[in-house]
Amino acid sequence: MGKITGFIEFERVAESYEAPGARLKHYKEFVLSLEDKQAQVQGARCMDCGIPFCNTGCPVNNIIPDWNDLVYRQQWKQALEVLHSTNNFPEFTGRICPAPCEEACTLNINNDPVGIKSIEHAIIDKGWNEGWVVPQPPLKKTGKKIAVVGSGPAGLAAAQQLGRAGHSVTVFEKSNRIGGLMRYGIPDFKLDKSLIERRVSQMEAEGVEFQASTYVGAAGDATEDGLNVITTAELDKQFDAVIMAGGAEMPRDLPVPGRELSGVHFAMDFLRQQNKRNAGDRIANQISAAGKHVIVIGGGDTGSDCVGTSNRQGAASVTQIELMPRPPEHENKALTWPYWPAKLRTSSSHLEGCERDWAITTKCFKGDKGKLKKLVCTRVEWIKDEATGQMKMQEIEGSEFELKADLVFLAMGFVSPVAAVLDAFGVEKDQRGNVKANVENYRSSRDKVFTAGDMRRGQSLVVWAIREGRQCARAVDEFLMGASLLPR
């Protein structure tokens, strides 16, 4: 805990942002981290609540009260050690995690939680600036070789843990740069990609090898030209264990009339192009929102990222629509705390300029000469099915309307990993098309093939990916060595 009376004496202070007018002119991060004194005061607000629900609200089980107290006492290096004991990459989570820990904070009963995410952000940034984050190579090698397929947070966490345990680890990534969806699915203004680069450099110094532009699977399934291809049979011969840690990359489509019109795109195609452009890659057939009326279908984080990117490209207007009803401004704490509540969430991208609407379904896309011109939409209401007890959607008669649109981005979530990759490995799938495996040993139906992250659990948060990567690493270490000292 921090100061005994700190939660009474001090108010919550959030991180500040660069003004919208200024930040829309670039793709750099615009969140201003807490200064040391500010973080100290915020750490002081951590109360002696008896049962720290924040620990279990956090999927990686960060030991939050401990490092809050250390920051309050200005013992920054020790705070970093505690933070790293459960989380390999707090610079990622401190920026892009939605902070379920804060929803679980005891002070959040009064809508005033400890600023856990901002303190985490301050700790890791100070750690890097002070030179405290250094490679931790193993004292000796085990002689075991492990392949990690996918370089997102699950794959990187597993690779780092196993490399530090003394195994020889190779990470395979089909994109031309390491990082998975953190690299190309999250805009630079939310996560500067130099943060990924320095973690990769640290891991290389620890002995982890990376092979980018490499597709794992059947040669005919590679969707991009110029990729190196390694088959699953080759992995089986060369490695003692394999971890499938790719993403849930198959986006949910909207198969309505007019879907084929030019101007209708999956959100991730748009975001990936802009990130590649920011990295200096040449982009053919660039999707540009400049001067266009943009509609984003889907109310989650990916949709919000499309909003921010469209505004930076100079869109004439941006509208985000959602099938579900508008959530309440504030949740009923007696019903939801300490769990993640359904409530209205307004992102920094929304504040930069965006119209939002809820309870809308798209009936069709209309165009002229093959180009998108408008959406035909209908308002819906959600009613309880008396037979099943479930909520069901019902269109409101006479509510049809049109929205002008030059570009539409489909941001309705992801349904599964790429089936061709799973089929190439020959692993059993669950009912949702993910790799079937439990969270005790993370083993697939194939001998010596493990899985973690979105490829096992479906689309989820960065913190869940890191948690599963770490736990899977321990399971692999036990499989290879008979026992493991790695933490779960």
Query: From CA 117, how far away is CA 101, in angstroms rounded?
Result: 8
User: pLDDT per residue over 247-297, tens digit each?
Assistant: 999 999 999 999 999 999 999 999 999 999 999 999 989 999 999 999 999
The answer to whether residue 366 scores a pLDDT higher than 90 is yes
Query: From CA 452, how far away is CA 475, in angstroms rounded?
Result: 11
Cα 327 from chain centre: 22
Burial category of 389 from C-beta neighbours within 10 Å (exposed 0-12, middle 13-18, buried 19 and up): exposed
Mean pLDDT of 314-342: 95
User: pLDDT per residue over 161-206, tens digit each?
Assistant: 999 999 999 999 999 999 999 999 999 999 999 999 999 999 999 9
* pLDDT, position 159: 98
CA distances from 242 to 187, 218, 423, 449 (A): 30, 16, 15, 5
* pLDDT, position 478: 98
* pLDDT, position 43: 97
The answer to whether residue 223 scores a pLDDT higher than 80 is no
The answer to whether residue 1 scores a pLDDT higher than 80 is no
Phi-psi region of 315 (alpha: psi -120 to 50; beta: other; left: phi over 0): beta
pTM to 2 decimals?
0.96
- The proportion of the chain whose per-residue pLDDT surpasses 90, expressed as a percent, equals 94
User: pLDDT per residue over 61-80, tens digit each?
Assistant: 999 999 999 999 999 999 99
What is the rounded average pLDDT for all residues in the chain? 96
Mean pLDDT of 144-168: 98
